[in-house]
Structure formats: structure tokens, C-alpha cells
Structure 1
Amino acid sequence: MGAPLNKVFLPLGGRPLLLYSVRLFEESPFISTYVVVAAPEEVGFCRTLLSSCSPDKLAGVVAGGETRQESVANGLRALPEDCSFVVVHDGARPLLSRDVLEGAVQRAFDCGAVVVGVPVKDTVKVVEQGGVTATPPRSSLWIAQTPQVFRRSLLSRALEAAGEAGFQGSDDSSLVERLGVRVEMFRGGYENIKITTPGDLVIAESLLAGAKGAAGEAQERGEEGRRIGLGYDVHPFCAGRPLILGGVEIPGETGLAGHSDADVLLHALMDACLGAAGLPDIGSQFPPGEPRWKDASSLALLAVVAGLLDEAGYRVAQVDLVVAAERPRLGRYLEGMKERIAAVLGIPRTAVGLKATTTEGLGFVGRGEGIAAWAVATVMPKKIRPPSPGGRG
């Protein structure tokens, strides 16, 4: 993706990709519990993001491994012992439909192993050293997707056998196929795309708009409805904590005091965004006494705020920020901060203004007691669907 964040945390329709799958699992009666497997360094970020949804079925967030198979095995071990069937799904496939999910699970109850997929539309050529060596019959070729559903004992056995043989499969069903077990194909949908490139996000946005019945029916309101919010925050230094600003950890520096990761810059930005949309401030959204926000990633909280704006009918168009710190010098970290902020909000990097300054030795910042930050956010109404002629809007 070329993004500073894992693609499953990038925004689609105002909220992170991963939350679409989570919402589906929460709503489906066919799913009793689920585990999210994340990169080890992203477990904390992921937990913060999921905590904002107050999930009822989430059994945990666990660290993955070096390969897909290791990650699936880690997730499998974290599921309750009485779980007899398991669904494996890519968090980068946010547009899975409930019908496909539940249909695949129902089929797996009967046969024990199911992979969701769609028929190949184009002719496929086998090429070796630049030359075509075969043209397989298209009628027998399908593109595998997820979810893939298995009897738990079968998938566990397939993972163990693959590990012993040193075999690495391209998907989970290939491990089961190695055992000589029949895997059935369940027809999915072409809209169940995997987000891999920036272009895929554009396609997914279009598909999502079409699913909501809004494609081609909305016009962006220009300057009308534009709103601006102001945010300000300050945190004192606190020994024994890492210093995180704009979602970037500043190595070797004393951190800031706060219930979350105390990212003063993002706290000011969140308040600016919420204020522009007329929503309660971050103290109301993420109460400091609530255990689930302790040491929470403020970058993940910013993603949650973007979702709150989406629900209120707004999107962030542009932000401008100032951070005042006598120490450390922040110049070389500013571009990394801008990249992360832009990625979470789904705006161009050029729409993020960010300056670092000092107070020339004046005040609490000048005395080296803490860091202050100011933010201005411009939000715009999202595309809206006009009222239907003669009907309800």
C-alpha cells in the first residue's frame, strides 16, 4: 500500500477496514466468538481500536507469527476449547456479505471444509520463460477468497502436518488439501475484494457507496456546511514513559503524563475534529478513569474519532497543527507524524499542516516542564443522498 500504517487500519468510508469484519462477526448468530491476530508491534493499537466498539464476542487480540500459517495457529490456540468449527478471514476483505459468511459456515457443518471463491472471468495462461505453455480450461478455474471454514480438529491437523513437512501453503485450504481431504467451493462475490493497493481502496469506496444506494446520487456540497474546530492540550513530562507525538515514538526522550499514551498533539487534533462536528470532547468520548483507555494508542483513538465524525455526517478535509516544546527538537520527525495523521484520517499528506516551535524559554514549556499543542480542523459534510421524488429522504 505504501502507507505508514497496516492497510487494515486505513479508513474506508470513514472507519478502519478491520472494523467492517468485526461488525459482521458481532452481528452474525453463526459466530459465537472470534480472535483478531495482529502483528506483534500492532497488538496494542488493535486492542485500543476494538475497545472503542465494546465488542461482546471478542475473545482476544493475539500476536501473529512470521508466516500466515503461524498466525492462524496462534489464533486457533486462543479460541475457546469448545469451539468445534473455525472461520479464517482476512481483515483486508472488508466487504464480505453476511449471506456469504453464513452460507459458507452452513456448508462446512455438512462437509467439514469450505473455501469461498468466485469463477475466473478471464482466460488464464501458464507462462514459462516468457512463453505460453498451456491454457487451462476456464470453466474449472476459481479465485479463492476468504472466509475459509473448517472443522477445527481438521485445520489443527493440517497445520501440524504442514509444519512437520516444512510446507508453506498460499492459503489455509491448501494445507487441508495436502491431507487428501475434499474441500468444497462456496460461491462468494466479486465485491469481496482484498485491499492490496491504493487503487483497491478507491474500488472499495465505490462498492460501499453502491451498497448504500448512494452511488451516483450525491453531490458534494462546496463551501456550504464547512465547519472549523479548535483544539488545545498540554501534558507534563513523566519519567519512565516513552515520548509519543503525532503517533511517532521519539527515541531516548522522557514521555508525557496521561491515562492513554499521552500524545498531546493528537489529543489537540481530536478535540479540534470533534469540536468542528459539534461532538463532545475527548474527555467525554474516552474518560481518563476508564481502564480500557489506559496506555491506549492515541493514533487508534484518532481513527475512532474519524468514525464518530462519519456517523455524524462529516469528514475531515484539512488540519493544521502546532506543537510547542523546548525539548526535544522535533524537525526530523514531523514528516512521519504527517504521514500517520493523513493515513488515519484518509486525507492527502498535503492537507496536514504541522509546525514545531519553542517558547524561547518562557512559561512551563520554556522551563522544560511539558509540551503544548494547538490544532485547527476543517470538516465538510459528507456526500448526501437527496430525497427521492415523492418519497422519503
Structure 2
Amino acid sequence: MSVAALILAAGRGLRAGGRHPKQYARLGGVPLIRRTVEIFLNYRGKNGSQVKSVAPVIVVVNPADAVLYRQALGDLADKILLADGGATRQESTLNGLHLLKTQRPPPSYVHIHDGARPFVSHDLLDKVHAALAPIYGLVPVLPVAETLKRLDAQDFIAETVPRGRLYAAQTPQIFPFAAILAVHEQAAAAGRTDFTDDSALAEAYGLPVKSIAGDSRNIKITWEEDIAMADSLLQQSGQSEAAETKPLFPDIRTGNGYDVHSLGTGSGVVLCGVRIPCSLALQGHSDADVALHALTDALLATCGAGDIGSHFPPSEQEWRGAASEIFVRRAAEIVAQKGGQIVNVDITLICEAPKIAPYRAAMAENLQTMLDLAAGRVSIKATTNETLGFIGRGEGIAAIATANVYYQ
């Protein structure tokens, strides 16, 4: 019997505060989505479970968050499959199910789980796996404890809703794979997009769903205060079973890069992706952006990934006249694939001309966008060479770059 896991992490989830979706927030120093993924990757069935392990694991991610995802998952990214998120939760789920359909053979069952629930326990998975049956789905539920009120259009209490037999649904919800795929495809064909979870969709299209006792610790991170509460739970438990072993000291690495290009006559130079109109031009195979070349080397240095020439050889015509932003973004991807998160970057430009100060803010904004960094994590400085040497004679521009990267 094979069981797969489909983890939904494509939502924008900004209600929990911060600049990024909640699934990339850190709990106890570990990205939330990584904790969730580890639960399923590390599962080994016991206590009457019919399932030995969960595989494959698919994470559904907004394509715009590809860099965040790689940074958060680090070394785990190569152990799971990735599907693109859709406009709705329902569409994202169907995208993931379609990817599972391509597996040979497809799984017998599939967990569908919220990426923002990082505390699902192996005990709960054991309990679910012990109750599997090919004719229905299973959903963990908890009895509703609060008194429920229905409000009218003016927000006055219209009635009290009896809470007997009322339960709150959790995830993971597990279904026979072929059956849940069929009902999702039926809903999509009918244009239905209003289901808030998969058990509601299954119910609407005739797939029976049975409840099983949930776990009060299996909370969903939604609001900013939820993150603080989750951190408190981790402290009380001495880290969850999904947390990775932490080194004694954080693995923060520093990389340096240096580059220089000669100057000739022209109509402008490109530095940090910003074109500066002047009577000069930097000479080089690409756009000769000396600052971004140095930064590319600095990023690659943090994970021993060679230098810019080994990834983008000047002998290849593909890179003739290329925008150097391509090089920086690729270096950032390599860092993310190695489990790195860029902490800050610093660039010093050394030249007699052109003047850098009027363009410094635009350069910094470019780097913030390229690397998805906050303003305070990007520094750009400029100095002259006091008329000394080839730089002092106006024959070229040099750049020194430093990057600090935290590796998990």
C-alpha cells in the first residue's frame, strides 16, 4: 500500500505578518514549511499503521516564491516533487493531484495537508493509517468548544448555534487517490471553486468521508500571534520531532568577489543593473557590469560553487551582451539549492568617473529585488583611487563585493 503526501503551500498568507507568506516564517529557527515537510519525509509507521512510509511528497508552491522555497527547504528540496500553485486552494490541489497521476504507479492513497500546520504528529498519522479503507476518506476532527453565534447583516447576534455534533476539521485529510482525483476533476469541470477543504468537495460529489479524533496540538498558523504561540510550544517540547539537529554555532559564511573592467569611449556604463549616461563605456563580453560580476563571485564563494567564469564562460556567445542580473540570480539560486539564505550584501565601487551618488538608491533597489532582501541588508558604496594607478587615470572601474549567507 502506497501513500503520498500533497502539501499545500501556494497561498500568500500575509496575515501572520512579515514580508513573506507565513509558510516561510521561522519557528525555532527553522522555516515553517521545512518543519511540515520533514514530518512526512521522516515518517516510519508503527502502532498498528498499515503504512511504512509516505512517498512521494509533493509541495505545491506559488511560482513567484521559487527562491523562498529553495531557501526554506535547503537540502530537502531535492527529495520532494514540486507543483505550481493555482489561483485557488482547489486549483492548487488539483495541480498536485495531476502531478501524482504521472507517477508510476500512482499512489493508493494521498494525504492533503496544509503547509502551515507544522505540528501534525507521527502518532496522528499512525492512527489515520490504521483506519484506512478504499471506500472513504478520513479527516481528523476536534469537537467545537466555543459557543457559536450567527450574526445578522448589522453584526448583531441573530441566534446561538447548538454545538452538539459540531466539529472542526484538520489536515492531513487522506483519501483513496483515484477517488479524490475523480471528484476534484468533476468539480473543476463544473466550474465549482467554492470548497474550503477537500472533505467538503468529497461530500458534495458523493465520496464518503469518515472522521477520526484529531489533535489539539495540530494547529494551523494563520495570525502573527500564532507564530509566537508556536515558538512557545517548541520551547516547551524541546523542539518538535520534525526539527532538525542544530549546530552549536550558526553556519554563516562570508564570500568575497573582486572584478575590474577597462573603460573606453561610449554612451554610458551599467553598474548594479542601472545605466548611467556618460561619455564612457565598460569593455566586456556581457554588459560588463563590474559590480554584479563581483557580487556573483561573492555569492558563489559562500558554498564553494566556483566563480562566474565557470558558470558563464566568456567564450560562449550566449553571454555576449547579456545583462549581468542573469548571473546574480543564478548564483542566488545555487546558494538556495545548497540550503543558504542570503543575509546581506555589500558592494564598493572604485572609480574616478562617472559619479555614483545620484544612482546609488536605484542600484540598491535593484539588488533588493534581485535577491529579495530588505533595504537594510543591501549596501552600496563608492570611492575614488585618489588619481593613483589605472583607476586613478580613468582607465577602468573596479568593484569589491561581500556576501554573508546563512546555511541550514
* TM-score (normalised: structure 1): 0.66
Is contact 1:43–1:61 with CA below 8 Å preserved after alignment?
no
Question: Which amino acid counterpart does residue 64 of structure 2 have in structure 1?
Answer: E
Match of 2:126 among 102, 105, 111: 102
Instruction: State the match for 1:124 in structure 2.
Output: 148
C-alpha change, 1:377 and 1:155, in structure 2 (3 Å) is: closer
Instruction: State the match for 1:374 in structure 2.
Output: 402
Number of residue pairs aligned between Structure 1 and Structure 2: 324
Q: How many Å separate the matches in 2 of 1:302 and 1:330?
A: 30
Structure 1: runs of 5 or more not aligned:
215-224, 238-242, 272-280, 307-315, 379-393
Q: How many Å separate the matches in 2 of 1:263 and 1:6?
A: 31
Instruction: State the match for 1:11 in structure 2.
Output: 26
Instruction: State the match for 1:222 in structure 2.
Output: none
Instruction: State the match for 1:21 in structure 2.
Output: 36
Match of 2:161 among 133, 136, 156: 136
Secondary structure of 2:220's match?
A: coil
Instruction: State the match for 2:330 in structure 1.
Output: 295
Is contact 2:256–2:401 with CA below 8 Å preserved after alignment?
yes
Q: CA deviation at 1:320?
A: 7.0
Match of 1:211 among 237, 242, 266: 237
Is contact 1:93–1:192 with CA below 8 Å preserved after alignment?
yes
Question: Which amino acid counterpart does residue 301 of structure 1 have in structure 2?
Answer: A
Instruction: State the match for 2:97 in structure 1.
Output: 76
Q: How many Å separate the matches in 2 of 1:62 and 1:95?
A: 23
Whether 2:160 is the aligned partner of 1:160: answer no
Instruction: State the match for 2:303 in structure 1.
Output: 282
Is contact 2:257–2:298 with CA below 8 Å preserved after alignment?
yes
Q: CA deviation at 1:336?
A: 8.8
Is contact 1:46–1:61 with CA below 8 Å preserved after alignment?
no
Instruction: State the match for 1:391 in structure 2.
Output: none
Q: How many Å separate the matches in 2 of 1:244 and 1:118?
A: 58
Instruction: State the match for 1:150 in structure 2.
Output: 175
Instruction: State the match for 2:85 in structure 1.
Output: 64
**Greater Cα offset, 190-199 or 89-98:** 190-199
Q: How many Å separate the matches in 2 of 1:155 and 1:149?
A: 9
Matching of residues 320-335 of structure 1 within 5 Å: 322-325=346-349, 329-332=359-362, 334=364
Question: Which amino acid counterpart does residue 93 of structure 2 have in structure 1?
Answer: V
Structure 2: runs of 5 or more not aligned:
1-13, 44-51, 241-248, 262-269, 277-285, 312-328
Whether 2:216 is the aligned partner of 1:193: answer no
Q: How many Å separate the matches in 2 of 1:138 and 1:92?
A: 26
Instruction: State the match for 2:245 in structure 1.
Output: none
Is contact 2:117–2:218 with CA below 8 Å preserved after alignment?
yes
Is contact 1:118–1:187 with CA below 8 Å preserved after alignment?
yes
C-alpha offsets along residues 75-107 of structure 1, whole Å, 9 cap, x if unaligned?
111111421211111111112111112322332
Matching of residues 241-252 of structure 1 within 5 Å: none
Instruction: State the match for 1:53 in structure 2.
Output: 76
Q: CA deviation at 1:158?
A: 1.4
Q: CA deviation at 1:142?
A: 1.8
Is contact 1:323–1:355 with CA below 8 Å preserved after alignment?
yes
Instruction: State the match for 2:208 in structure 1.
Output: 182
Secondary structure of 1:162's match?
A: helix
Q: CA deviation at 1:166?
A: 2.1
Q: CA deviation at 1:18?
A: 1.1
Q: How many Å separate the matches in 2 of 1:162 and 1:202?
A: 37
Secondary structure of 1:96's match?
A: coil
Q: CA deviation at 1:210?
A: 1.5
Secondary structure of 1:180's match?
A: coil
Q: How many Å separate the matches in 1 of 2:398 and 2:29?
A: 33
C-alpha offsets along residues 276-316 of structure 1, whole Å, 9 cap, x if unaligned?
xxxxx522xx67789xxx9364597399346xxxxxxxxx9
Q: CA deviation at 1:67?
A: 1.1
Instruction: State the match for 2:322 in structure 1.
Output: none
Instruction: State the match for 2:339 in structure 1.
Output: 304
Q: How many Å separate the matches in 2 of 1:251 and 1:147?
A: 48
**Greater Cα offset, 322-331 or 151-160:** 322-331
Question: Which amino acid counterpart does residue 330 of structure 2 have in structure 1?
Answer: D
C-alpha change, 1:194 and 1:136, in structure 2 (3 Å) is: same
* TM-score (normalised: structure 2): 0.64
Q: CA deviation at 1:125?
A: 0.7
- Aligned-pair identity in percent equals 26
